[in-house]
Amino acid sequence: MCCRRTQMGLPPGGGGLFGLPTDEKTSRNESSQGLVELSTISHGCTPLFVRKYRFTWYHPIPRTFDHLKGPFLGYNEVEMAKTNKVFSDKLTVDLFAGFPVKDYSASLAWYERLLGCLAAFFPNDIEAVWELAEQRYIFIKVLPEHAGHAFNLVFLSDLDSFIAQVTERGLQPTKRETLSNGVRRVIYNDPDGNEVGFGGAPLKS
């Protein structure tokens, strides 16, 4: 069991998922339900999905998180503080952000109008990919059961210019907002309700 826990990235000995203590005598009434969102992405044209997994952990009441001060999933605080980046600068990363849609033709036309260009390539007959910038892509894929549940944000150095160009193509933002720090954000909703967001720095006074 110790070897198995090590392979899973868990510290040896007791402790459940995320290092939370387990107690076989603890009843289900003392359990807490949590929801984990995992994003999976891979190179090529594999879509970005956000899947939700429900898990249960058991704990004695009252629950404390003092045990999280030590090793956490096999990494201590010193190791986790070494970098704020997921990938090394030496690694080439291509980002594909996906939007699940129902109607391929209608969505294709809408994204062409929003982005002002034809798709860069078509992996198959249910996907279309646009290159926003070098190694940065968005794409649509026909997935009716997931349509309308995606949201992304693209931060631009000249947000106002982009909004003006989109307006000329006949689309208006569904929502405009300015955050407390002055950062601006606009959201366009595609035909299925997916949120395509664009952000910009605060306006200079």
Q: Which one-letter amino acid corresponds to residue 16? A: G
Strand ranges (DSSP E) for 41-170? Answer: 49-58, 95-101, 127-133, 136-142, 151-156
pLDDT one-digit tens code per residue, 148-178: 999 999 999 999 999 999 999 999 999 999 9
Give the three-class secondary structure for 40.
strand
pLDDT one-digit tens code per residue, 26-64: 333 333 344 333 333 333 443 443 333 343 343 444 444
Q: How many CB atoms lie within 10 A of CB 10?
A: 20
Q: pTM of the full predicted structure?
A: 0.61
Beta strands 184-189 and 195-200, pairing class: antiparallel
**Comma-separated ranges of CATH 3.10.180.10 domains in the chain:** 95-200
Q: Which fold has domain 95-200?
A: 2,3-Dihydroxybiphenyl 1,2-Dioxygenase; domain 1 (3.10.180)
Q: Which one-letter amino acid corresponds to residue 69? A: K
